[in-house]
Every structure is written in C-alpha cells, then in structure tokens.
Amino acid sequence: MSKLLSHDELRAHFAKKFGRSATVIARAPGRVNLIGEHTDYNDGYVLPAAIERETRIAAAPRADGCVHLVAFDLSRETTFDLADVQRSTSEGWSNYIRGVAAGLLAAGYPVQGFDGLIQGDVPIGSGLSSSAAMEMASVQAFSAIGGFVTPSAQAARIGQKAEHLFVGANTGLMDQLASALGQPDHVLLIDCRDLSFRPVPIPAGAAILIADTSVRRSLAASAYNERRAQCEAAAQALSVPALRDGTLAMLDAVALPDVVARRARHVIAEDDRVLETVAALQGGDLHKVGELMNASHASLRDLYEVSSVELDTMVELLRSQPGCYGARLTGAGFGGCAVALMEAGAVDAAIPAVAAVYRMRTGLTPALYPTRAAAGASALTL
C-alpha cells in the first residue's frame, strides 16, 4: 500500500497533472470494527472506529459539468459528465464516485464538476473500507466544490447506495457511518435498526492494533449470503422481525436445524457483547473489553464459522503479546484483518514479534497497522 502523500506533495502532483492549483483537499478515513460482527444485517449493534489511514482528494472546480478523476495509487484516470452519470466497465474504481455523484444529484444538491487527484493509505481490499473512505472523501469534495453541506447520515446513505447500484456490493451502512462520523479516541455505538449512534470514549492508554493476515476473502460472498439467509430463517422461526429482537431463551424453545441455531446464537449473544463492551469502556475496564473481544472471536469461529487458520493464528499471536487485552477477527471473516486492543505502550514491541512468528507459521507476510481512533471525513479549502 502506498504511503500517504503530504498536502504539499499532493498539491504539487495536482498542479503538474492539471496545470493549475487545487482549491480543496477532502479526506475520509477507513474504519475498523472493535466488536459486533455479522450483527448489522440483523438490525443489531456495531462498535467501529475510524482509523488513522485515509483517502484524500485534491480538487479544483471545472466549468463544463464534467468530473475528471485521477487515481494516483492505481495510475488510472477517467472522466464522466454530471449530465448523464453512467457506470464504467473499464474504470471500475471510479464507480464508487460516479455513484456518489448520482446520489447527490438525486438528492437535489447543486453538484459541480471538478478535477480530482485521489491518493491515500487505506489498504485496498483488506476489509478496512477503502471503498467507504473514497466515497465519503468524494462527498466532501463535491460538497466543498459545490458550496453545500451534506449531513453525515445522508452522506453515508449515498455512499451505501453507490455500492449497491454502481458497484453491485450489497453492503450495510457501518463503513460509511464510521468514516463520516468518526471521532478521535472514540468508538461509535451504532444501532443498525434506526441508525442512531453514540460516540463512546476509548480510555486513555489503550490502542488499537490491526493485523492483516494478507489472505483475501475469496469465499466471502457466497458464504456471507448463506449466513444472511440462515439468520432470516432463524428470525422467522422465532417470529421476530430480526434476530436483534430474539433472545437465547426464545432460541432454546424452538426446534431449528443445528446450523441455523448456531448462527442465531452467535448473533443474539454478539449484540449483548457489544452493549457489554460499551459498559466496560465506560467503566474503564479494558480487561473486560478484551474478554468480550475474545468471546466474540470464539463465537465467530465455532458458531458462525467465518474464521480461518490464518485468522485464528493471528488472533492467538496477538493475544500472546504482553499488554494485549484481547483480539478477534474483524470484518466479514475468511481472511482480511484481526483487531487487538492493547496497552498503548506495548504496541511497538508487539508489531515485529507478531510479524515474525506469523510469517514463520504461515509463510505469509502480514501487515500490521497501529492506530488510534481518528476523526471522520472533512474538507479543507485552500
């Protein structure tokens, strides 16, 4: 993954490419979910944070109603006309922003064309939501260039719709909300039923360490859809609108195929774990938070069956480090990343230790990203 360019470097590349100065730098972070996995599509709770890796767009307005985008990290470029926004088959990366433009236009905003140079350091396709980062950065760019303000919740919905309609990815809303609304040193408790949210402070002295297994989630799409269907079947059997409304007692009272019951047991208990984590954070009990993260991983591995040898190995290595409170897989599973909550002072020593043993055990080179919780999307007018 590329290194984040400084503002000066980004502006210099923009000037070289477009022969004029950028007037805006928009930015939006990636995200990591601390706990609450596979709960979002069951109307449940999630607890993500924005991370210290972000996507930036340097931009300057155009008068012809066109958007000319350069993806610096991919060495690609494309132009589209706001009068007729279409999906691109050859420049798939631009569909996230085409979709955002279409969404802002449909919402009635005075969207204006611009030249934009995109660059960032959110690892692409690792499950840290480089896609939502690019969407939320583009909402900020369109808003600053067009002279309007897009409320965060609406920005998130527009990003989600861009993924549904322009990319064909049936994602929830967690990624966009976290990227739009993140606050330094806070996680966001999001209720995926009504999309209400509440920032929860992370106690001082705690840090987040993200560990990418470097295994890509190839099986994820079909397995994900299968689990969604199993959750719907379980909710129906319990006669509740979604598993969010189910209880373990209700589950014990009905006869369900074993696999469906296990999926439901994970979701129902995971929702409780999210709320317990919030209480533990508020009480400053980081050991309790760690225990809940560990329990979440066990449940995802044994009941929801979305872990992998590499994720289990990574989680075990993270937990064996001095100063680690707990660790779990984060994101949909099968590959991608694990997340650990650690004593801030213990992170530096853990990184080379985890990397070396993981490499030895799996033959794979992991990527480790220490992070504090970061601020959500914003734009700077130059």
Nearer to ligand ADP, 35 or 178 (CB): 178
Applying CB under 6 A, does 74 fall inside the site for ligand ADP? yes
Q: Which stretch binds ligand ADP (CB under 6 A): 66-74, 99-107, 311-319, 370-378?
A: 66-74
Applying CB under 6 A, does 179 fall inside the site for ligand ADP? no
Nearer to Mg ion, 50 or 82 (CB): 50
Residue 181's identity, in one-letter code, is L
Determine which residue in the list 42, 94, 95, 131 makes contact with Mg ion, applying CB under 5 A: 131
Q: Which partner from the list ligand ADP, Mg ion, none does 330 bind, CB cut-off 5 to 8 Å by kind?
A: none
Phi, psi of 52 (to 5 degrees): -80, 40
Angle (CA) 102 103 108, round 5°: 95
Binding mask of the shown chain, residues 84 to 113, with x at each position contacting ligand ADP by CB under 6 A: --------xx--x-----------------
Could you write out the DSSP letters of every residue in 251-306? HHHS---HHHHHHHHHHHHHHHHHHHHHHHHHTT-HHHHHHHHHHHHHHHHHTS--
Active site residue 175: yes
Binders of ligand ADP among residues 318 to 357 (CB under 6 A) are none
Q: What is Dmax (Cα atoms) for the chain? A: 69
Q: Which stretch binds ligand ADP (CB under 6 A): 119-127, 270-278, 281-289, 370-378?
A: 119-127
Closest C-alpha among 216, 210, 213 to residue 339: 210
Angle (CA) 168 171 173, round 5°: 135
Binders of ligand ADP among residues 15 to 44 (CB under 6 A) are none
Number of residues counted as binding ligand ADP (CB under 6 A):
18
Number of residues counted as binding Mg ion (CB under 5 A):
2
Nearer to Mg ion, 159 or 290 (CB): 159
Nearer to ligand ADP, 71 or 102 (CB): 71
Q: Which stretch binds Mg ion (CB under 5 A): 21-29, 66-74, 124-132, 349-357?
A: 124-132
Determine which residue in the list 48, 103, 127, 333 makes contact with ligand ADP, applying CB under 6 A: 127
Contacting residues for 52 by C-beta, under 8 A, at least 6 apart: 29, 371, 372, 374
Q: What is the nearest approach in angstroms of Mg ion to the Cβ of residue 169?
A: 7
Applying CB under 6 A, does 73 fall inside the site for ligand ADP? yes
Binders of ligand ADP among residues 212 to 271 (CB under 6 A) are none
> d(Cα 96, Cα 131) in Å, to the nearest integer?
7
Nearer to Mg ion, 129 or 307 (CB): 129
> d(Cα 366, Cα 351) in Å, to the nearest integer?
10
Q: What is the nearest approach in angstroms of Mg ion to the Cβ of residue 279?
A: 30
Q: Which helix (H) or strand (E) holds 361?
A: helix 347-362
Applying CB under 6 A, does 55 fall inside the site for ligand ADP? yes
Nearer to ligand ADP, 56 or 265 (CB): 56
Applying CB under 6 A, does 156 fall inside the site for ligand ADP? no
Give Cα separations from 318 to 114, 128, 363 (angstroms): 44, 18, 17
Q: Which of 40, 73, 121, 175 is catalytic?
A: 175
> d(Cα 108, Cα 132) in Å, to the nearest integer?
22
Structural contact between residues 200 and 186, judged by C-beta atoms closer than 8 angstroms: yes
Determine which residue in the list 33, 39, 78, 129 makes contact with ligand ADP, applying CB under 6 A: 129
Q: Which partner from the list ligand ADP, Mg ion, none does 251 bind, CB cut-off 5 to 8 Å by kind?
A: none
Instruction: Specify burial of residue 235 (Cβ count, 10 A radius: 0-12, 13-18, 19+).
Output: buried
User: Binding residues for Mg ion, per CB under 5 A?
Assistant: 129, 131
Binding site for ligand ADP (CB under 6 A): 55, 71, 73-74, 92-93, 96, 118, 120, 124-131, 134
- Residues designated as active site: 175
